[in-house]
Amino acid sequence: MQKKTPRKLKLMASGTNQQAARLWQAVLGKIEMAIPRPSFDTWIADSVGVSFDKGELKVSVKDAFTAKYLEERLLGIIETELRNVGGEGNHVTFMVTGERSPVNSSLGLYEQPSTMSNGRTSTDYGTPPQTEKGRFYLRKPELNSRYTFDSFVVGDSNELAYAAAKASSESPGHAFNPLVLYSGVGLGKTHLLHAIGHVVRSQGLECVYTTCEEFTNQYVSAIQQGNTEQFRDMYRSADVLLLDDIQFLIAKEQTQEGFFHTFNALHMANRQIVITSDRPIASLSVLEPRITSRLMGGLVADIQSPPLETRLAILQSKAKQLKCHIPAEVLEFLAQRIQSNIRELEGNLNRVAAWSQFRDVEITIEDVTRITTGTPGQARGLTITDATVIAAVSDHFGIATDQIKGKSRRKMTVLCRQVAMYLLREETSLSLNAIGKLLGGRDHSTVLHGHERVSSRIELDDGLRGDVLKIRNSILGG
C-alpha cells in the first residue's frame, strides 16, 4: 500500500508566495519569543517570506547589512524554528529587496559596515563602524509598521499608558514630558513607543527612536572616533526622542553622562521625551539620582498583566489581522492558558493559525493543546523559587551548587554563577541584595554586573543564548 504524503508537506511544496508568507509568519511567532525584543524589532520584524521551493524558504529583508547580520548571528535559531514548523531539511536564504541609500539628514547617515583585516565587519563587535575616511555613521532604527494605536488593544491594565502615549503624540513636548512607560516583558510598552513615532512623523516632525543598547553603542563609538559633536547634534535636533529599555543604562556611567546632557537639552527646548523601562523608576536607583529625579518629574505610567477579557480581545484582533478564522472556544482556551505575556500569547496564536492554514481544516482545542505543549506560557502559573533556578543552572552546566555559591573564579564557574544571577533576576521577584545573599553573600553591584553581562552576551553568542533558553525551559517545565 502506497504511503500518503502528509497534507502539510503537499501544501508547503507548492511554493506559492502566500504559503511562504504564512510559513515565515509562523516562524516569526516562535522567534519573537526566543530572542530579546529590541533585536527582534530591529533586525527581523519587517522581513517577509517571498517563496518556498524544494526546502528553500526565501526571505526578503531591507538591506545587505541586515541580511549579513541575520546570517551570521541568528541563522541557527531561525532554521531550527523553521524545521519545527515546516519539517526537517528546510533552510532559509535571505534576499535584499533594494539597497537603502544613506540618510542625508541631521540624523546622520545610515550605517555602512566596513571590512576589517580579519575579514569580519566592525559591526560584529556591536558598535557602529568607521569608514576609511573616518566618517561616523549612525544606524537609524526603523519603526515597526504593525505597532500603531489602532492595533493596540486597550483594557483596564493599560488604559492610562495608552491615553498618555496618545496625548504625547498629539501634543509633543506639552502634554506629558517626559513620559515614562514601564511594564514586564511583552506587555506592550514598545508597541506604544512605535505608535507615538508613527503619529509624530505623520505630523512632519523629526522623531528619533532607538534602544538604550543602540544609544550606548553609538555613544561609545562617537567617543572612540572623536565624533561626539555629530552624535550630540543627531539626538538634540530631534523634536521627539523615543528611548526603549532605559534599564540598560545601569552600570554604564559614561553613557549615563551623555544621556543626561541630551535629556536636559531636549527638555529645556520643550522637545518630547518618551522612555520605557522594565521596572518602576524607584527600582532604577542604581542610575544616577539626577537622571531618576528628572524621569520622575514627568508622568510615569505602568502597564499591568492583562485580564482575561483583554487577552481575549487581543487574540480576536490578531486573528482578524492574520485573516484566519479560529473558533471562539479556541481563542478563549488560549487566553486562559497564557496569562502574563502578550508576546507569548500572540506567538502561540501564530503557531495555531499556521497549523490551521497549512492543513486547511478548522482547529480544535485538542489540536491547540498538542501544538502549544511545552511552550513557556503553559508554565506561567508555576511559582518559581530560587532553589529551582539554582538547581537547574547546576544541572545544565554540571557544576555543584556549593561551587556556584562559593568563591571560585574559574571561568566556567563564574559564567554559571552569572547565568544564575540573570535567571533569578528575570524569573523571580527577588531583589538584587537577596540574590547576592543567596549566591554566597555577594553585594547588589556584583549581581547587577552578572545580569548585565549575560544580558548583553546572549545578543551575540548563540551558544550562551541556547544554554539560557534550555535552562529557562527546564524551569518553566516544572
Q: Model's pTM, two decimal places?
A: 0.52
Q: 207 and 241, same structural domain?
A: yes
Q: What's the domain range around 315?
A: 308-379
Question: Is residue 46 within 8 Å of 67, Cβ to Cβ?
Answer: no
- Set of cell numbers at residue 417: 554563577
Predicted local confidence at residue 163, as pLDDT? 92
Does residue 130 belong to any structural domain of this protein?
no
For 55-77, give the secondary structure using H, E and C: CEEEEEECCHHHHHHHHHHHHHH
CATH number at residue 416: 1.10.1750.10
Q: 289 and 351, same structural domain?
A: no
Predicted local confidence at residue 192, as pLDDT? 93
Question: Is residue 448 within 8 Å of 286, Cβ to Cβ?
Answer: yes
* Tens digits of pLDDT across the chain (478 residues): 443 333 333 334 344 577 888 888 888 888 887 777 767 877 888 888 888 888 888 998 887 777 887 887 788 888 888 888 777 778 898 888 643 333 322 333 233 333 333 333 333 333 333 433 344 445 556 788 888 898 888 888 888 999 999 998 988 888 788 898 988 777 888 899 999 999 998 888 888 898 888 888 888 888 888 778 888 888 888 889 998 888 777 667 777 878 888 888 888 888 898 998 877 776 665 566 777 777 777 888 888 877 788 888 888 888 887 777 788 888 888 887 776 667 777 777 877 777 776 666 677 777 777 766 544 444 444 557 888 899 999 988 888 888 999 988 888 999 999 999 989 888 777 788 889 888 988 988 899 889 888 887 876 777 787 788 788 877 876 4
Domain end residue (candidates: 96, 120, 141): 96
Predicted local confidence at residue 287, as pLDDT? 63
Based on its alpha-carbon atoms, the radius of gyration of the chain, rounded to whole angstroms, reads: 23
Q: 273 and 163, same structural domain?
A: yes
Q: 327 and 198, same structural domain?
A: no
Q: 451 and 410, same structural domain?
A: yes
Total domains present in the chain: 4
Question: Is residue 379 within 8 Å of 477, Cβ to Cβ?
Answer: yes
Q: 281 and 205, same structural domain?
A: yes
Q: 294 and 203, same structural domain?
A: yes
Domain end residue (candidates: 96, 117, 145): 96
Domain end residue (candidates: 260, 283, 303): 303
Q: 346 and 364, same structural domain?
A: yes
Q: 264 and 188, same structural domain?
A: yes
Predicted local confidence at residue 113, as pLDDT? 35
- Set of cell numbers at residue 136: 561616523
Q: What span, in angstroms and rounded, lies between the C-alpha atoms of 54 and 402?
A: 52
Q: 346 and 289, same structural domain?
A: no
